[in-house]
Structure formats: C-alpha cells, structure tokens
Amino acid sequence: MSEINQLAQTAFNTAIIRGKTEKDAGHLDAFFDILSELKEFREASEVKKSEHLPQYTEAQEELTDVLICCLTELHRRGVDVERIIKEKIEFNKRRV
C-alpha cells in the first residue's frame, strides 16, 4: 500500500474514532464536512501562526484539514488514492 493510501486509511480511522464521521456516512454528509473545512480556510490567516501547528500559518493548517477530509472520503469509497490523483493530474495536463 502506498504512503498516501496509508495516510487516507489513517485519516478515515481517526475521523471515526473522533466522531467526525461514521463508517456509512453518505455523500451529503461528506459534502458538508468538506464545506465546513473550506469555511475554516476562508476565515484563516495567511500570516498568523497556527495555534495547533505553529510552524505553519492558519491557512496552511486549514488547507491540510480540507485535504485530510478529502482523503477520508476517498478511502471510504475504496479508491486507490495515489492512483486517482496521478490519473487526474495527467488528465488535467491534457485539458485546454
């Protein structure tokens, strides 16, 4: 298993343990979870240090939360996360 797939699995398991999601959460639940993280990013500072990870800005930390939420949802759907990211990047390179 690739490192990014392992991270996605860990993100999913952690979200379950923390009560952030449920194993059988649906599409709409995922949408609102991601939207919530995007709203936190919108309010985050590009210069103020993160309270939780002071080596990063608030915005950097919140973008990471968005990514973690997306990794969680991809894992829930049984996707090879590394593969789909690579395939989507290649597809986007061909788009005009």
Task: Specify the CATH number for 3-94; select among 3.30.40, 1.10.1660, 1.10.12, 1.10.287.
Answer: 1.10.287
Please give the pLDDT value at position 35: 97
DSSP code of 22? -
Please give the pLDDT value at position 95: 92
| Residue in 40, 39, 37 with CA at minimum distance from that of residue 15 | 37
pLDDT averaged over consecutive 10-residue blocks of the chain (96 residues)? 96 96 93 97 98 98 98 97 98 93
Q: Which long-range contacts (CB under 8 A, 24 or more apart) does 24-32 make?
A: 25/76, 30/69, 30/73, 30/76
